[in-house]
């Protein structure tokens, strides 16, 4: 018998995404984004995102089935993001997923968005990822996790105390009038700047911090430092600011991730989420993990940002681990803790 086909739906933020997998094989990863509708506000507007999901869900689902060359009746299970995310946005995906599961009479897995980001790795590596340390960095979250078993045992080691890493990129890009989302623009500008040109602060890295909150992040001090520098320096070197800001973020993310590996004795690290697409983060992670003997996995950039394939991948892992499906009726949970991999 061939592996089961799982259809995954992701609508936690501004991407309406449907992914389809057969076991660990990716069949389709279709995404409609409302990012341009939010650009003039400098961040995602929840009401606009929800409406955009409603409009995009039908066409995105149809396109995904077409890309995968299957019909709905071939689907063996549905997986959908239940949280964390914007409630109004989540509800569109949940309503669609529950409707499909009911209509097709197939099981549904209501899964955690953060666990899904990590499990996308199963589509590119056949050997198991877990146990691993996971660094999740995107516009909505920055957390460091210990993943002992991807379908059921995840522990939060730390998270950001203020802005998410991607949010910091977006806010600095806004200050520099680089547009939204800011990460890719800063990444590109930084290639011609000096990473060491300006000594920006590394948040929560004093010896006291290492004792009481070793794995938490803070980017607000860095943001203020960059804003002050720009204010105080007419005709500042834009590429240097981008590169030095980026370096401060990358440095602190990796410092904490590698320390988590060392302290837990787990010599494997996965980096996921939109910021994992950052070229400097990818390059420095490779250098430092090489040196420390840590096995590093970073998904391809298109699988790092929010997508449906990661949700489908987690659904397929749940099925093969024999995990129970979710009830057909469940809520969208904006603050779903990462320890809850799926709703039961
Ligand atoms: O995972 P994602 O698509 O959505 C959320 O769940 O938030 O992440 C989006 C975030 C944005 O803040 C964006 O600026 C950031 O990821 N991002 C990047 C890069 N590409 C996307 N940040 C730094 N460098 C990049 N190349
Ligand atoms: Zn995400």
Residues 6+ apart with CB under 8 A from 5: 20, 21, 22, 27, 70, 74, 75, 76, 77
Phi, psi of 14 (to 5 degrees): -110, 5
Yes or no: domain 129-298 corresponds to CATH 3.30.420.40: yes
Pairing, β 77-83 against β 5-10: parallel
Mean pLDDT, residues 122-145 taken together: 92
C-alpha R_g of the chain:
20
Mean pLDDT, residues 132-143 taken together: 92
Q: Place 44 in a pLDDT band, splitting at 50, 70 and 90.
A: confident
From the number of C-beta atoms within 10 Å of its C-beta (0-12, 13-18, 19+), residue 267 rates as middle
Mean pLDDT, residues 83-112 taken together: 97
Question: What DSSP character marks residue 205?
Answer: -
Q: What CATH number should be reported for the domain whose range is 5-121+304-320?
A: 3.30.420.40
Q: Is the pLDDT of residue 1 over 70?
A: no
| Distance from C-alpha of 176 to C-alpha of 189, rounded to nearest angstrom | 11
What would the pLDDT profile of 241-292 be if each residue is shown by its tens digit?
A: 999 999 999 999 999 999 999 999 999 999 999 999 999 999 999 999 999 9
Q: How many CB atoms lie within 10 A of CB 207?
A: 6
Q: Is the pLDDT of residue 215 over 80?
A: yes
Q: For the chain, what are the domain ranges? A: 5-121+304-320, 129-298
What would the pLDDT profile of 62-79 be if each residue is shown by its tens digit?
A: 999 999 999 999 999 999
Q: What residues flank ion ligand 2 with Cβ within 5 A?
A: 138, 306
Q: 282 vs 50, which has greater pLDDT?
A: 282
Nearest residue CA, atom 26 of ligand 1? 278
Residue entry with tokens 């210990």: 146
| Distance from C-alpha of 196 to C-alpha of 208, rounded to nearest angstrom | 25
Note the ligand closest to the C-alpha atom of 273: 1
Residue 161 parent element (H or E): none
Note the ligand closest to the C-alpha atom of 311: 2
**Smallest Cα–Cα separation from 230: which of 269, 207, 200?**
200
Lowest mean pLDDT among 11-15, 43-47, 175-179: 43-47
Whether 129-298 and 5-121+304-320 are alike in CATH topology: the answer is: yes
* Ligand 1 pocket residue status of 261, Cβ below 6 Å: no
| Distance from C-alpha of 335 to C-alpha of 317, rounded to nearest angstrom | 23
Mean pLDDT, residues 11-30 taken together: 96
Tell if the pTM clears 0.75, that is, is over it. Answer: yes
Say how many Å lie between the first and final Cα of the chain, rounded.
Answer: 28
Nearest residue CA, atom 13 of ligand 1? 183
Question: What DSSP character marks residue 74?
Answer: G
| Distance from C-alpha of 320 to C-alpha of 107, rounded to nearest angstrom | 13
Measured in Å, residue 274 CA sits from the centre of ligand 1 at 3
Measured CA to CA in angstroms, residue 49 lies from 44, 45, 130, 343 at distances of 7, 6, 33, 24
* Ligand 1 pocket residue status of 93, Cβ below 6 Å: no
């Amino acid at each position: 018998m061939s592996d089961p086909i799982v259809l995954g739906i992701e609508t936690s933020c501004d991407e309406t995404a449907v992914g389809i997998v057969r076991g660990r094989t990716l069949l389709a990863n279709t995404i409609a984004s409302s990012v341009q509708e939010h650009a003039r506000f400098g961040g995602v507007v929840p009401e606009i995102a929800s409406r955009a999901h409603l409009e995009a869900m039908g066409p995105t689902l149809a396109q995904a089935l077409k890309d995968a060359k299957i019909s709905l009746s071939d689907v063996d299970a549905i997986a959908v993001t239940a949280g964390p995310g914007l409630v109004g946005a989540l509800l569109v995906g949940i309503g669609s997923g529950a409707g499909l599961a009911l209509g097709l009479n197939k099981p549904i897995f209501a899964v955690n968005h953060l666990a899904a980001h990590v499990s996308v790795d199963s589509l590119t590596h056949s050997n198991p990822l877990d146990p691993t340390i996971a660094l999740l960095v995107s516009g909505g979250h920055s957390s460091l996790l210990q993943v002992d078993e991807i379908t059921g045992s995840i522990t939060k080691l730390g998270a950001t105390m203020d802005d998410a890493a991607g949010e910091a990129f977006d806010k600095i890009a806004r200050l520099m009038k680089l547009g939204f989302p800011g990460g890719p623009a800063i990444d590109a500008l930084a290639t011609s700047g000096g990473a060491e040109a300006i000594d920006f602060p590394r948040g929560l890295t004093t010896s006291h911090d290492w004792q009481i909150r070793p794995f938490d992040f803070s980017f607000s001090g860095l943001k203020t430092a960059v804003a002050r520098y720009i204010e105080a320096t007419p005709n500042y070197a834009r590429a240097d600011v981008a590169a030095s800001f980026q370096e401060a973020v990358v440095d602190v993310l990796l410092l904490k991730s590698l320390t988590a590996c060392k302290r837990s004795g787990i010599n494997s690290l996965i980096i996921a989420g939109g910021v994992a697409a950052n070229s400097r983060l990818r390059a420095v992670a490779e250098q430092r993990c090489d040196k420390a003997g840590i096995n590093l996995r970073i998904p391809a950039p298109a699988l790092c940002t929010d997508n449906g394939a990661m949700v489908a991948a987690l659904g397929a892992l749940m099925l093969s681990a024999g995990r129970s499906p979710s009830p057909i009726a469940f809520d969208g949970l904006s603050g779903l803790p990462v320890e809850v991999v799926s709703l039961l």
